Amino acid sequence: MLLLTATSARADDKDPSTDKDSAVKCTVRTILATEKPGGLDKRLAFLKKQFSQPPFSAYKTISLLEVKELAISQGQRQQLTLPNGKLFRLTFKERLLGRKNRLRLRMHLSITPPKETRFLPGTLYTIGNKGLFLVGGDKHKGGTLVIATTCQAK
């Protein structure tokens, strides 16, 4: 089972076409979601809305496992190892100017099994600057591993 959701935040940023050496700073939060009663980890209070709506509302305990920061230049990829041993790869594709001149970030995400030697296809998505992308579905320690990624242009 794969769960995806994306949200955007408002941003007042410059025209992306004027910044050839752009980069983003991304925060990757790994979360354990279970159906056992327990509530939302206080450090994840900003995700209350997302975890109160399907498909995430099925989970009754939401716990933060770890937080990692990634700095990614345009056209580059960064990776980290998730708690379940899989490789999380995030690529910053480009900056886009959306409706009402709001900055949008095009990203590519791939989660690869640890022993896999070839690059597996992933998900190409676009979020607003300071936006959020949630993906979940891998089983981990009696629950589901959820990854919350927020990115902001530098």
What confidence score (pLDDT) does residue 14 get? 44
CA distance 154 to 85: 29
State which residues of the chain have pLDDT below 50: 1, 9-18
What confidence score (pLDDT) does residue 8 get? 52
What confidence score (pLDDT) does residue 121 get? 76
**What do you get for the CA distance between the two ends of the chain, in Å?**
34
Output phi, psi for 126, to 5 deg.
-130, 130
H or E element: which one contains 89? Answer: strand 87-97
What confidence score (pLDDT) does residue 105 get? 96
What confidence score (pLDDT) does residue 114 get? 80
Kindly state the greatest CA–CA separation across the chain. 50
